């Protein structure tokens, strides 16, 4: 869950997702002036960072043909690795 307040320049993100926590922990370590760990407990963490770092995008749509081409590429790549 993310909280973005209109009057503030900071976004607050609360998560229990371990993958999200790993990514944000890396950002906190690499950019301590920008990303901050503001709270945590046994299962969750809360982070804050500038609202300008939040983006909204349309969901990506992949056609059946694109999906099949990607599948065939992965099959070829996996075969090449085994050889």
- For residue 75, is it within any domain? no
Give me the sign of the Cα torsion angle 29, 30, 33, 38. negative
- For residue 2, is it within any domain? yes
Percent share of the chain, pLDDT over 90: 75
pLDDT of residue 81: 85
Q: List the domain range (segments joined by +) for residue 5.
A: 1-52
Contact 47, 37 (CB under 8 A): yes
- For residue 82, is it within any domain? no
Q: How confident is the model at residue 2 (pLDDT cuts 50, 70, 90)?
A: low
Pairing of strands 10-15, 36-40: unpaired
- For residue 3, is it within any domain? yes
- For residue 11, is it within any domain? yes
- For residue 58, is it within any domain? no
How many domains, the chain?
Answer: 1
In angstroms, the CA 79 to CA 21 distance is: 34
Give the tens place of pLDDT for each residue, 36-66.
999 999 999 999 999 999 888 899 898 999 9
Who wins on pLDDT, 60 or 20? Answer: 20
Beta bridge partners of 47: 13, 37
């Amino acid at each position: 869950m993310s909280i973005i307040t209109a009057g503030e320049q900071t976004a607050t993100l609360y998560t229990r997702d371990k993958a999200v926590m790993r990514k944000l922990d890396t950002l906190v370590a690499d950019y301590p002036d920008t990303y901050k760990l503001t709270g945590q407990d046994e299962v969750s963490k809360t982070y804050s960072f500038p609202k300008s770092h939040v983006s909204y995008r349309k969901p990506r749509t992949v056609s059946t043909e694109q999906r099949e081409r990607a599948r065939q590429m992965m099959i070829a790549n996996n075969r090449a690795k085994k050889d």
